[in-house]
Amino acid sequence: MRTEKGNSLLEFPDSFVAIDIETTGLDSSIDQIIEVGAVKVQNNEVIDTFSSLINPGREIDPFITSLSGITNDDLSSAPDPTSVLKDYFEFIGDSILIGHNVHFDINFLYDSFEKHFSVPLKNDFVDTLRLSRRFFKDAPAHKLSILADYLNIEVKEAHRALADCYTTIQLYYKLKEASDKMPSSEAALLDSLSFDESNPFYGKRLAVKGVPQLYSFSFMKEVSRKCNAKMSDVFYNSCDFVVFSHYTYKAFMQGSNSAKFEKAKKLVDSGSLTILSEEEWCKMLNLPYISKPNTKSNLSAKDIVTEKTDFDETHPLFGKTCVFTGTLEKMARKDAMQIVVDLGGLVGNSVTKKTNYLILGNNDYCSSIKGGKSSKQKKAESLKLAGNDIEIISENVFYDMISE
């Protein structure tokens, strides 16, 4: 468990480090990093970059070469992981990190830093993938390359670390621009609001965790300003109140053992922090609820259904079709499929062009590295090389995703 992993932020800081890595696969317990890239931004200006290949100590699969353009010859003369990762760790420092599907990069780097230096990666981060699902719902898909085309962002070189960092930065500023926009109904309500010093948030520090469902984040930020409250990043120990989104609050109240809640629970128990639901925040300010339509997926597996109606639409599995293959070590396949559906995803029995994730049991994933690939995996690789939005992940990576 990555107990010291940083917080996922909803703020748009002016200074940050954009990161991206290329790997031999998607499981940090088995696969290796073969390239790292980073771009340091201070006050919205690029001030430094970092880029290096890494010799993984073994040959890489031809599929990875086809995807990234990185060859075994390129890697044969590259430096070893320890020296590169030490410099990379020092380069990013304690900066806020941004990236597309950055949970993947951070989990990989967290495990690698612990392995080589016994030091965790504690940096807070902004995930442009989750934000793009919130602000660019009409995009045909939310892969970095597809969003770049959708938003007319210039892409220098796909699937290379430093180039992807620059693409992510351009996407980040598109998201920042979109976040400042507010629905007309909320803007009208905001104009009618005024608060005096008796409001419960006057002079307090407030943060929002998760993507709000009742009001937009920009509305909540402006209301906080009118309340003379400081809207901060999600640093639990520097806040008086944290408003959890509907989905996050539900998980918190159900006693989720997620590491991200441990700090919050301790501060609540000490009396220094108050956790609010969106509804409670509205009631404290006498704000009407503006309900947003629930989204319920049309499921493809007839025997797996959900009773849930509220979904976190920014979750990486929301609206995605998952196919499982092989025997799972930690749970029955039916239970894993149920989790996907409960998160607003879909499940299938075979790999098609509509499949977004092929999830391999850990033993099957290890076998695939040694060359023993199933027909499902071969088809998935073929679809990915053809440009389809599909990823091949291990059981371990699946567990990381459902715990986000």
Q: Residue 349 carries which side chain, given as an amino acid letter? A: N
Catalytic residue ranges: 159
Q: Residue 149 carries which side chain, given as an amino acid letter? A: D
Backbone φ and ψ for 350, nearest 5 degrees, come out as -145, 160
Q: Residue 333 carries which side chain, given as an amino acid letter? A: R
Within 8 A by CB and 6+ apart from 182, the residues are 190, 216, 218, 219, 222
- Tokens found for residue 293: 């339509």
Q: Which residue is listed with tokens 């790999």?
A: 351
Rg of the chain over all Cα atoms, to the nearest angstrom: 22
**Residue in 251, 21, 56 with CA at minimum distance from that of residue 159:** 21
The answer to whether 325 and 377 have CB atoms below 8 angstroms apart is yes
Within 8 A by CB and 6+ apart from 178, the residues are 135, 136
Runs of H (alpha helix) within 53-127? 62-68, 72-76, 81-92, 102-117
Half-sphere exposure of 286 toward its Cβ, with a 13 Å CA cutoff?
7
